[in-house]
Amino acid sequence: MLLVVDIGNTSICFGVYAGKKLVGSWRISTITGKTSDEYGAEIVNFLDFGEIDRGKIFGVAISCVVPSMLPIFEEVSERYFHVKPLVVSRASQLGMTILYENPKEVGTDRVSTSIAAFELYGGPVIVVDFGTATTFDVVDEKGEYIGGVIAPGVGISSQALFERGAQLPQVELSKPESIIGKNTKKSMQAGIIYGTIGQVKEILSRIRKEIGGNPKIVATGGYAGLIAPEVGMIDTINRDLVLEGLRIIWERNFRP
């Protein structure tokens, strides 16, 4: 079995594959300062809960956009699973051309989701990742990554209002019943949620106009379930897209 781990700024997603089948996936918070033993024990507990024998894990693939966390998870891989992990980078066999001015600037999570989207849905395809940031990644019909968009995410917008507005509370990120709020909490929820929906619609419209055709649009990320159904332009939601991409990358590096 293969353990895949995506380390993001807000959360860490990990899952286990038996062949091409995802047999379990989980999401935990990214907390700097935790030790490899703490993270290792947490992951092992989830595997035990899912009745997954960690002794059968023969490979580990890691995508990381938080540099300080990478050594911790490399140690988790080697101490708890006795495997030297594949850390996805530009040196990995990706099977996708990155047409960025500096390909190293594209986060490995974005590369992973783009690879998975093209493999699963073909091209052209647009991936909208509702994470810490809301990112848009565009893959053409040839399977080449042609670029993308980075915008503030739902969580960032909410946190910024709370931190910079002296009298504004921290609110739960949920869709209010009405666009017109009758109190501060509802007004903030309306602004954050519907503001993000409008932002996503506008960016997707401009991308589609620029590339032409009828690209497939796939949503992923922690806030996809909250925002994507309201956009009206998104074809499918796949919350495990980054894990699928890590599996594909691992296979391209280790299987003939």
Pairing assessment for the beta strands 216-220 and 125-130 based on DSSP bridges: parallel
Closest CA to 7 of 56, 76, 85, 62: 62
Q: How far apart are CA 110 and CA 63, in angstroms?
A: 10
CB burial class (10 A; 0-12, 13-18, 19+) of residue 49?
exposed
Is the separation of the CB atoms in 176 and 190 below 8 Å?
A: yes
> Catalytic residue positions?
109
**CB neighbour burial string for 123-158, b if at least 16 within 10 angstroms, e if fewer:** bbbbbbbbbbbbbbbbbbeebbbbbbbeebbbbbbb
Q: How far apart are CA 243 and CA 143, in angstroms?
A: 19
DSSP 68: G
Three-state DSSP at 114 gives helix
Q: How far apart are CA 203 and CA 224, in angstroms?
A: 16
